[in-house]
Structure 1
């Protein structure tokens, strides 16, 4: 007897195009599942693969300005996700980086959560969130702290609603254990390797592609290249755009948002891809390596699982790490990169990136799902 599956994700909007959305797309390529989310503005988007697909949503769908970021209704997200009635399904698959894992289930249902990250603004980034938010000080600040406190309590409680956790990296698995005291199986997310052009001969510029938000540390990269006076291209948009434009010197091009084809072109031709954030996985690092482009990355988080430092791996190296999120550390590493770049083989980077292909993700995810559902009894 076939199992009836539901797939739950946080939000589906044209601006949400990161690694978690790629996981949702790949799961739907292989599993016949009904899709649910807090909000959905993709099924009405003619350019989306979800165009005209039936997607279940919550009351937040009708709230003002939800399309531009439902996170503004943060205190309501737990309540909203719990309003989705999925009792008709045998298996619940959640793709969660905020509240999707908090879906209500019955004892007869199986819930498998692919966790991209425990809720960052409730855990690791609480103090950054408070410092940057207009609601982070005064009486409003204390109210915000209380909301985040209750959110952490709810987040831990709802971990008990999950039967099996999958983590997108070993780094995320450790965070899941720290926050929830739950073990997680690591299955790396899919990266569409074949869609990125392999270019062995590089041009004379460095590149970073990122949302321009504080934790991505793009300002740090810009300040380091101001000192180095080497050519840097910055692609991306976000709240730090004005600040970055203000501090950037003439050797830095800030292109803002660019279509995918243009991003791939710049990524394929760059002499090095620079990334300064601590990511749970870091899909852009793998995309750069798929192009044969070496990576200069902050040596923490998921980068340690996706990039091979040439100083340690020799001929199999695909980039260099800098150990501290400081201008000095990045400047020193770029100088070393200028020396080591002749030892970095573009073909090795491409081969290394291939282990994160959609085919490998699908095989491991489906094998895990089959294993979990073997003893599931349908009543």
Structure 2
């Protein structure tokens, strides 16, 4: 079977790129395609050949890749996949548009619907430098939404990383999706059943992460809180924090791993489509206190691996922490939950079933 792996663009190293890296390792003989490739700033593909689109030749395309949004769909359409039996796309936007021959199969790992088209205002809050162009962008995006809906029908099968994303694919693209939770590399995390007297936040300091609510809650609680991570909200957060709240800024992977293993709990107040931090904490044997919406509904078992709070407010977080302290947590059970559900082995067993089902017509009986 001749396989092609396709990703939107390989210009950065985020969660979607790490999943694509796993796919490349799992299918070592597959050909790799993307729109723009910047090997210095993205995942390590070793000596694998990466085929790109015409956009690669535009000066500055790797740095200003977001500005090329109206050009990606047609760039992917021009790629020739006529010789491939299986196309696996990894996309949050454009790669789902690739063409295939009728008897071939296209399985799409859809990390999200195209956010800048379907949740434009939220997207522009994260990329504020583009906000002033909103009136002009909205006219372009209205046209692009129609194109996106059309190309959303190209894949034969969708795979979503969470129930939240699967529901979004169904609602916007009117396509069902298999939910296969993305894995972590379990070997990178240290299990410990000996916890120190601090709570941990591991996050970029962005407004939607709602770290401000966590800081206010711990100002009232007076319990030790360590915040690992940096971002534009740091100065404002430090100004309101009391002495029991410590900001570490950027930490190395080794230090972050150690903190994860020794924290009493990791606290997540953001609404995430999926979110790997809660799973990484559990892999360390550490329970999670999380806002009970989005991806954590797939990854957490209340009372076993962590607790939910139902509002992103200081008082809701305070109540969750006080409730947390009354529970005798089984750290080994927390770790075992990850081993049973979120390893690469578990992930690819499900993927293999989907691939096999795509070719034998048994998709409805996969899980």
TM over 0.5: yes
Partner-residue secondary structure (3-state), 1:111: strand
Partner-residue secondary structure (3-state), 2:113: coil
Write out aligned runs for 1:194-343 (5 A): 194-310=187-303, 317-340=304-327, 343=328
What residue in structure 1 maps to residue 26 of structure 2?
A: 30
Cα distance change on mapping 1:240 and 1:147 into 2, 3 Å: farther
Partner-residue secondary structure (3-state), 1:12: coil
Write out aligned runs for 1:1-379 (5 A): 3-13=1-11, 15-18=12-15, 20-31=16-27, 32-42=29-39, 44=40, 49-63=44-58, 66-67=61-62, 70-123=65-118, 125-131=119-125, 133-137=128-132, 140-310=133-303, 317-340=304-327, 343-354=328-339, 355-374=341-360
Distance 2:355 2:314 in 1: 44
Contact 1:26 1:190 in 2 (8 A): no
1:60 deviation in Å?
Answer: 4.0
Deviation digits for residues 48-84 of structure 1 (CA, Å, limit 9, x no counterpart): 5413321122344455655456334433343443343
Cα distance change on mapping 1:326 and 1:173 into 2, 3 Å: same
Deviation digits for residues 142-197 of structure 1 (CA, Å, limit 9, x no counterpart): 11222332333222211111111111122221111011111111222122223211
Deviation digits for residues 268-288 of structure 1 (CA, Å, limit 9, x no counterpart): 111111111222222111111
Contact 2:10 2:43 in 1 (8 A): no
Deviation digits for residues 257-312 of structure 1 (CA, Å, limit 9, x no counterpart): 333222211111111111112222221111110100000011011111111111xx
Contact 1:286 1:306 in 2 (8 A): yes
Cα distance change on mapping 1:195 and 1:228 into 2, 3 Å: same
Distance 1:184 1:158 in 2: 16
Distance 2:349 2:242 in 1: 47
Cα distance change on mapping 1:216 and 1:40 into 2, 3 Å: farther
Normalization by structure 2: what TM-score? 0.88
Cα distance change on mapping 1:224 and 1:162 into 2, 3 Å: same
Distance 2:82 2:347 in 1: 28
User: Relative to structure 2, which stretch is displaced further, 216-225 or 57-66?
Assistant: 57-66
Partner-residue secondary structure (3-state), 2:325: helix
Distance 1:234 1:62 in 2: 42
User: Relative to structure 2, which stretch is displaced further, 108-117 or 157-166?
Assistant: 108-117
User: Relative to structure 2, which stretch is displaced further, 285-294 or 241-250?
Assistant: 241-250
Contact 1:97 1:116 in 2 (8 A): yes
Query: Once superposed, what is the RMSD of the aligned Cα atoms?
Result: 2.4
Cα distance change on mapping 1:68 and 1:351 into 2, 3 Å: farther
What residue in structure 2 maps to residue 313 of structure 1?
A: none
What residue in structure 2 maps to residue 314 of structure 1?
A: none
1:246 deviation in Å?
Answer: 4.2
Distance 2:94 2:237 in 1: 32
| Structure 1 residue runs without a partner (length 5+) | 311-316
Contact 2:81 2:101 in 1 (8 A): no
Distance 2:159 2:75 in 1: 23
Distance 1:208 1:252 in 2: 10
Distance 1:279 1:107 in 2: 36
| Structure 2 residue runs without a partner (length 5+) | 362-367
Distance 2:233 2:61 in 1: 21
Distance 2:113 2:210 in 1: 20
Distance 2:153 2:79 in 1: 18
Cα distance change on mapping 1:282 and 1:370 into 2, 3 Å: same
